[in-house]
A and B are shown apart, each in its own frame.
Chain A
Amino acid sequence: MKLLIKNGRVIDPKNGIDQQLDIFVNNGLIKKIGENINLENVDRVIDASGKIVCPGFIDIHVHLRDPGYQYKEEIASGSRAAAAGGFTTICCMPNTKPVIDNASVAAYVRQMAAKTAVVNVWPIGAITKNQGGEEITEMADLIAAGCIAVSDDGKPVEKAELMRNALEYARMFHLPVLSHCEDRSLAADGQMHEGYFSTIYGFKGIPTAAEEVMVSRDIILAGLTGGHVHICHISSKGTVDLIRKAKAQGINVTCEVTPHHLTLTDEAVGSYDTNTKVNPPLRSAEHIKALLEGIKDGTIDCIATDHAPHELESKDCEYNYASFGISGLETAIPLIMSLVGKHFDLNKMVSLFTTGPASVMGLNKGSLEIGGAADITIIDPKKSKTVDPGSFYSKGKNTPYAGRKLKGWPYMTIVNGKVKAEDGRIIEE
């Protein structure tokens, strides 16, 4: 399969490229990047004029729910949501049933992905067996089975000593330890951000301190052990400040932020739309401001969706009964595009989805390399479309953005040299 991508604005932050170029792809690999490439006998010439051509986007925080919760999502459907949303690589969290806490479950994910996925899928193993917070997992075995990080995800490791051991042990493999920071005693029964709007809407709030207390602990433990702690879905000004300071001290800490924490405030909960229920919760405007500052000054390494699909019944109920989570893969790009020009430029945006996540995970991806795998995301910055969860490839239709008109959508997703999605639709082989 030979592809020639013509006349696009190629942005490759790692290689410092931002200009109109053509890219020739053959046999799954990038063969040539240059001006005015003209070749005979290509299978397809893609006219990318007016479009932005980038290294394939990476989402390091996705819930594929497979095995165990295939009624919420499967590797097949989740990977299609990723491709439709412009991602070529996703990393899936281990809170499945059974938990990805041993090589055989990790191998299952890799095999199912090889068989049914349309993008690259990397599993994340658990930090502790069964996410139980008691004994650390066989990390070498998990790595051998394809895991590229460990995380206990929504069940954060409560015992400080165990977290210390995990960071220390993971260090020998240069394995990132992903931490969903939440002091569960402070967050208990909370439904939304604690503040003015939790008072108005009558909900128990989740204070930012619930996140910050554990971020502080994990930063201190990373400093103690030299291990790499990656803070998931940061949501507060306090967290940005803590990480900024830790980075300045040379502590091995990275972090991600989600599109929803950058684009929706806690005021949205007022509709009692359960699709606004997410953990950590949507915060107030001052926190969004601090997160945007964190992006600008490099405190925040990458964007990750925390794609959390749920079946209808989990959301079609009373707010307190509803599950936490937003189905995020298919709206991430336009949501972040809505910030481009206002808070950061296009180059920054691309790096947040490419070099940023690749470097957090130690993935040899996120740039356009001659001879490298042809993972390419093409964005149409002019396309406007209304978010329609009914057309999602994800089984999770749970989005608070339904009906919202957004501009700047993925145009094409190329994975290992094959066009997997075009204009939001999956191209099946």
Chain B
Amino acid sequence: MKLAQHKDLLGLRDMSREEIQLILDTAIPMKDIIKRDIKKVPTLRGKAMITVFYEPSTRTRTSFEIAGKYLSADTVNLPVALSSVQKGESLRDTMKTIEVMGFDVMVIRHSMSGAPHYVARNTNMRVINAGDGANEHPTQALLDFFTIREKKGTLEGLTVTIVGDILHSRVARSNIYGLSKFGCEIRLVGPPTLMAPEIEKLGVKVYYDLEKAIEGADVINVLRIQKERQHVGLFPSLDEYANLYMIKNDKLKKAKEDVLILHPGPMNRGVEISSEIADSTQALINEQVTNGVAVRMAALFLMMGGTRDEIAY
């Protein structure tokens, strides 16, 4: 099976369980490459990749760039804030300009849902969604799955609780789409004002009480709370949010003893997660970042036509 049959990687909603598994399996040898002294393989030599981020990012953008470089692709970043976008250049013209320079892959992050789909429809380049609005962030979910699977041995049948601002979260959506393909019990918890309408129809359970939501959970995925949501009246204060939903030691009593704590970063310590938890061995936040590089190497490699058996060493 080849991932290359799809031109783009836009989300997990339409990705099959087998395709997800293929990426996770392929990421295992990729992770080995990252751990080597000489971290470069010639696999994507002669291929060109550009990252175009319309929203700030530390992890995802750097992760894509280094993933491309480890595979010997030529990688370029378009610093959107310093680009002609600031002169009002449209997404279509920006994309076209990039395309005619010969890039094979465009990795795009955008604050608006569907922007990568719009680009994908209008270009021959392969497009990877690095997060669009409140829609999807597929490679983040894939690295979450890789991290969970590495620790638990499987994704099958796990209970995963996602905590926080579900309404605005693309990480939550991609996690839900992917995990539900592996028979996980998915629980969402947060205030009703941050819960997405009719989300129960996706087969998830909605909670407002944190302790109930994490009772017996194998994994807790903590979402970043964006401070600007307070200003539009979705919750009264960061203090009240922290009182109700911050992941800290005394809230974890009812979770499984070996519960894993994930966070996509960047963290607001003392708001959605306490420092003691963030820095504990249960928390896999740094592990997630390493795995992010491996998963993105796998995705790039497979999209460029590689198969699991032909990873170059």
Which residues of A are in contact with B by a Cβ distance under 8 Å? 191, 194-196, 198-205, 271-272, 313, 316-321
Contact = CB atoms under 8 A, between A and B. Distances in A.
A318 B135 contact: no
Contact of A319 (B13, B114, B170, B198): B114
A202 B91 contact: no
Residue of B113, B134, B170 most packed against chain A (CB within 10 A):
B113
Interface centre among A191, A194, A205, A320 (most CB of B within 10 A): A320
Interface string B131-160: 011111000000000000000000000000
A318 B115 contact: yes
Contacts of B134: 202-204
B197 A202 contact: no
B197 A196 contact: yes
A313 to B, nearest CB: 8
Interface string B103-139: 0000000101111011000000000000011111000
B201 interface: yes
Contact of A317 (B90, B135, B196, B202): B90
Contacts of A202: 113-114, 132-136, 170, 173
A201 B91 contact: no
Residue among B112, B132, B136 facing the most chain A CB atoms (10 A cut-off): B112
B45 interface: no
Contacts of B197: 194-196, 198-199, 205
Given A201-B135, A203-B134, A316 B92 contact: yes
B190 to A, nearest CB: 14
A200 B13 CA distance: 9
Interface of B: 13, 90-92, 110, 112-115, 117-118, 132-136, 170, 173, 196-199, 201-202
A319 B113 contact: yes
Nearest to A321: B112
Contact of B117 (A194, A203, A272, A313): A272
B112 A199 contact: no
Nearest to A194: B197
Given A317-B90, A317-B92, A201 B113 contact: yes
Contacts of A271: 117
A196 B201 contact: yes
Contacts of B92: 316-317
A21 to B, nearest CB: 51
A313 B201 CA distance: 36
Contacts of B118: 272, 317-319
A317 B136 CA distance: 19
Given A316-B92, A318-B91, A318-B118, A199 B110 contact: no
Contacts of B114: 201-202, 272, 318-319
Closest 4 CB pairs of A and B: A202-B135, A272-B114, A202-B134, A202-B113
A320 B110 CA distance: 11
Contacts of B202: 199-200
Nearest to A199: B196
B257 to A, nearest CB: 33
> Which of A194, A204, A319 gathers the greatest number of chain B CB atoms within 10 Å?
A319
A321 B134 CA distance: 15
A199 B113 contact: no
Contacts of B13: 200
B191 to A, nearest CB: 16
17 contacts: A194-B197, A195-B198, A196-B198, A196-B201, A199-B198, A202-B114, A202-B132, A202-B170, A203-B134, A203-B135, A271-B117, A317-B91, A317-B92, A317-B118, A318-B91, A319-B118, A321-B112
Contacts of A321: 112
A317 B95 CA distance: 12
A336 B104 CA distance: 45
A272 B198 contact: no
B43 to A, nearest CB: 32
Contacts of A198: 196-197
Given A203-B134, A272-B117, A272-B118, A319 B112 contact: yes
Given A196-B199, A202-B114, 19 more contacts: A194-B197, A199-B197, A199-B198, A199-B199, A200-B173, A200-B202, A201-B113, A201-B114, A202-B133, A202-B173, A203-B133, A271-B117, A317-B91, A317-B92, A318-B112, A319-B112, A320-B112, A320-B113, A321-B112
A258 to B, nearest CB: 23
B113 to A, nearest CB: 4
**Most chain A CB neighbours (cut-off 10 Å) among B110, B115, B199:** B115
Contacts of A194: 197
Most chain B CB within a 10 A radius of its CB, from A198, A200, A317, A321: A200
A191 B111 CA distance: 14
Contacts of A317: 90-92, 118
A272 B92 CA distance: 15
A263 B79 CA distance: 43
